[in-house]
Chains A and B, each alone.
Chain A
Amino acid sequence: MRLLTREALLSFRRAPLLSTLSVTTIAFSLFTIGLFGLVAINLREALRGLEERVEIVAFVLRGTPAETITLASQDIAAFPEVQDVNFVTEQQALARARAELVEFKDAYRDLQVNPLPASIEVRMKQGQRDAATVDRVAERLRGFGFVDDVRYGREWVQRLDQLRNVTGLVGLVIGLAFAAVAVVIIGVTIRLTILQRAREISIMRLVGATNWFVRGPFLLEGAIKGFLGGLLSLLLCYAGYLLFHDNGGGPFGGLIFFGPQQMLLILVFGVLLGLGGSLVSVGRHLRHV
């Protein structure tokens, strides 16, 4: 065990440049994935706030009897996608308008006839707020005879959805490209170490070292590099996060960072990356020694 760790750590001294390069590429790979991941989780957070407010408003034809609307409201409330339904009468709509639009207070007070229609406000359940579901429910609302028009923030729901998906995807693609580069560089480092140590390895074999014993230090070396790369990427991500977060107040005021589970995931991914790179290279090159 001591021999194993000693050999693994020695590689940093034997090939300091390449080892640093391996760690840095792993860090960049995970940094890219991490950065886009941060944007994605913050977008998701932002969306969650906005989605709270996702509601469909169905305007009711003038003169519809109150009972019809009440019954319909109960029907709508029973839709599996719907969280709650709120009926706003013409008077309530007017009162709201007066309260919210202070500038027009006078205009509304002098009105003889209330110009505002009654409406049914429908809020969607959590997890049902994506564009497709909202579309479907809106369509069903249109089916009621007394419904004049249906409005909802369909456009931006869709766009935010897309934005989030695209961000995640772009991050993943760039991150994976970096990951591939990292695997190649780790492979080259290990190939070099194996060539450097060919004599030592052949002597190890001669005196009866098992294959895993010979491989062990290389795999450990890869795993350590992966771990260091993961750690470095988290630091970089955190630096990036602070850069925006510290401006406070502004549009980025409420930014969040990875939770402990997500950080662990990044570290694990780094270790796997390093391990994978060395496993491939060790398998290929050790055979020829």
Chain B
Amino acid sequence: MIRFSHVYKSYPNGALALKDVTFRVSKGEFVFLTGHSGAGKSTIMKLLFAEQRPTAGEVRVSGYIANSLKADEVPKLRRRLGVVFQDFRLLEDRTAGENIAFALEVTGARTDTIAARVMRVLTQVGLSAKSRAYPRELSGGEQQRVAIARALVNDPAILVADEPTGNLDERATRGVFQLLRDINAGGTVVVMATHDLDLVRQTNYRTIELREGSVVYDSAVDEADTVGAQ
């Protein structure tokens, strides 16, 4: 589903955000990206949904090679991904339902199917009663659930979540995390960047740790090595 091969990324200001990053994510996986602030987690996310292009190396996502993506292929790739951020990125002047419908309208979905699809994902995230609430009327956890519902409404193969619990208290964090686990259990690949090591330790999902732009630990590779060495 995802393959990074010797990926380097430097920003126009000269900052080298990624150095020789190689990993691969298969169908059905749940992957944590961890590392200190500035380690390059968000940069990997941006490469995944083609907001940034790699400086060197190759990024493959869901059958697309992100390096050479043409302008009209970027939207196609993004429709196969769901993206969630720490700051929710909801439109304040639209209700929860309208925010989700927006993602469908924008991709030219048939108007008569929109209402049903919005209701389905709202139910999935447990907010079917809040369809008409505006973001300011929702708690942080609820807003993030709306954002996740919006990410899910196009039935993505991969859900990319950049510190989705970064702004949430413990209880809301647990709720959102459980939701992501359920989504993964349904077959969707989830890539989640996080600072929250408690969350990482709770489960034995695969973890990739970055330090100053390099992968310093990948549980899928290193644990296999450790086992092999014994």
Residues in chain A within 8 A of chain B (CB atoms): 2-3, 199-200, 202-211, 213
Bound complex: CA of A3 vs CA of B106, how far in Å?
A: 8
Q: Which of these binds chain A: B73-81, B137-145, B201-209?
A: B73-81
Question: Judging by beta carbons under 8 Å apart, are B91 and A3 in contact?
Answer: no
Question: Judging by beta carbons under 8 Å apart, are B154 and A207 in contact?
Answer: yes
Looking across the interface, which residue of chain A has its beta carbon closest to that of B49? A206
User: Which of A3, A199, A203 has its CB near the most chain B CB atoms (within 10 A)?
Assistant: A203
Known: A208-B154, A209-B106. A203 touches B89 (CB 8 A): yes
Question: Judging by beta carbons under 8 Å apart, are A206 and B78 in contact?
Answer: yes
Looking across the interface, which residue of chain B has its beta carbon closest to that of A3? B105
Question: Judging by beta carbons under 8 Å apart, are A207 and B49 in contact?
Answer: no
Residues of chain B within 8 A (CB-CB) of A199 are: 89, 91
Chain A: minimal CB distance from B84 (Å)? 10
Bound complex: CA of A240 vs CA of B154, how far in Å?
A: 57
Q: Across the A-B interface, how many residue pairs have beta carbons closer than 8 Å?
A: 47
Question: Judging by beta carbons under 8 Å apart, are B91 and A207 in contact?
Answer: no
Residues of chain B within 8 A (CB-CB) of A208 are: 75-79, 103, 106-107, 154
Question: Judging by beta carbons under 8 Å apart, are B108 and A213 in contact?
Answer: yes
Bound complex: CA of A210 vs CA of B75, how far in Å?
A: 5
Looking across the interface, which residue of chain B has its beta carbon closest to that of A211? B71
Bound complex: CA of A202 vs CA of B75, how far in Å?
A: 12
Question: B66 at the A/B interface (Cβ < 8 Å)?
Answer: no
5 tightest CB-CB pairs across the interface, nearest first? A208-B78, A208-B79, A207-B103, A209-B106, A208-B75
Interface pairs (21), CB distance under 8 Å: A3-B105, A202-B89, A203-B91, A203-B102, A204-B102, A204-B106, A206-B83, A206-B89, A207-B103, A207-B106, A207-B107, A208-B75, A208-B77, A208-B103, A209-B107, A210-B75, A211-B72, A211-B75, A213-B75, A213-B106, A213-B108
Looking across the interface, which residue of chain A has its beta carbon closest to that of B90? A203
Residue-wise, chain B 192-226 has the 8 Å CB interface mask toward A (1 for contact) of 00000000000000000000000000000000000
Bound complex: CA of A58 vs CA of B150, how far in Å?
A: 90
Chain B: minimal CB distance from A286 (Å)? 12
Looking across the interface, which residue of chain A has its beta carbon closest to that of B78? A208
Residues of chain B within 8 A (CB-CB) of A210 are: 72, 75
Chain A: minimal CB distance from B50 (Å)? 10
Bound complex: CA of A202 vs CA of B90, how far in Å?
A: 11
Residues of chain A within 8 A (CB-CB) of B77 are: 208
